Amino acid sequence: MITVHHLEQSRSQRVLWMLEELGLAYELVSYKRDPKTWLAPVELRKVHPLGKSPVLQDDTLVLAESGAILEYLTDRYDLQRSLSPQPLPVQAPECLQYHYWMHYAEGSAMPPLLMSLVFAKVRKAPMPFFAKPVAHSIVDKVMKTFISPQLRLHLGWMEQTLGQQAWFAGERFTAADIQMSFPIQAAAARAGSMTDYPRLQAFLARIALRPAFQRALQRGGALDLVGGTR
């Protein structure tokens, strides 16, 4: 029996989507965020020491991190390699791109998005009136000189990639697209207008039409990523 410990409005939505694409039965254990801090509840620490989501249980296995979970599911259950490339040869273009985007999603794409969220919260945080101008000045400078340029850099790289091929790993939909969905959804929610990135907009429209994506939303709940990422 597969069990997914799912936190609302989080990366774990991708795991539900992956399971739906593979047609696997699973039990869903849902958790609510703290309405004030937007953090995961302490109950998740009973499942995994970090208290983060997603966590997948498959028999006696307990596995965290969405990328690791998706790769585990493909290696164990995607026997026809419908959502993943053949493991050999490792230098095959689809294989290389698949692994790159599986790791890029969290390793490179998410950090500036998370920083954007943190600094937005700092700007809105309660503080003495005399401290606000200083705090806001720091936030605005960091956003202007570092975070916003980084967001444009990464969104431009994703946009360029989808201008060269249909999906992130090549010409067919794979788990790399499931993994990449979250940073693009988060960017659309937080980074302002996406009019400069029509291919990313089209990507979001295409995945929303997939029946498995829709079933995952029905089970896990609609995403509203303005509030947080975890």
Segment 115-128, tens digit of pLDDT? 888 877 777 778 88
Q: What is the mean pLDDT of residues 137-163?
A: 91
77 φ, ψ to 5°? Answer: -115, -20
Computed over every residue of the chain, the mean pLDDT equals 91
Instruction: Report DSSP state, residue 32.
Output: P
- The pair of three-digit structure tokens given for residue 138, joined into one six-digit string: 């720091």
The reported pLDDT for the residue numbered 228 is 44
CB 194 within 8 A of CB 200: yes
Which residues, other chains included, contact 174 with Cβ-Cβ below 8 Å and sequence gap of 6+? 83, 84, 85, 94, 98, 167, 168
Task: Assess whether pLDDT exceeds 50 at residue 223.
Answer: yes
Task: Assess whether pLDDT exceeds 90 at residue 139.
Answer: no
DSSP, collapsed to helix, strand or coil, labels residue 103 as helix
CB 18 within 8 A of CB 70: yes
What pTM was computed for the model? 0.91
Rounded to whole angstroms, the Cα distance separating 151 from 7 reads 25
Segment 45-89, tens digit of pLDDT? 999 999 889 999 999 999 999 999 999 999 999 999 999 999 999
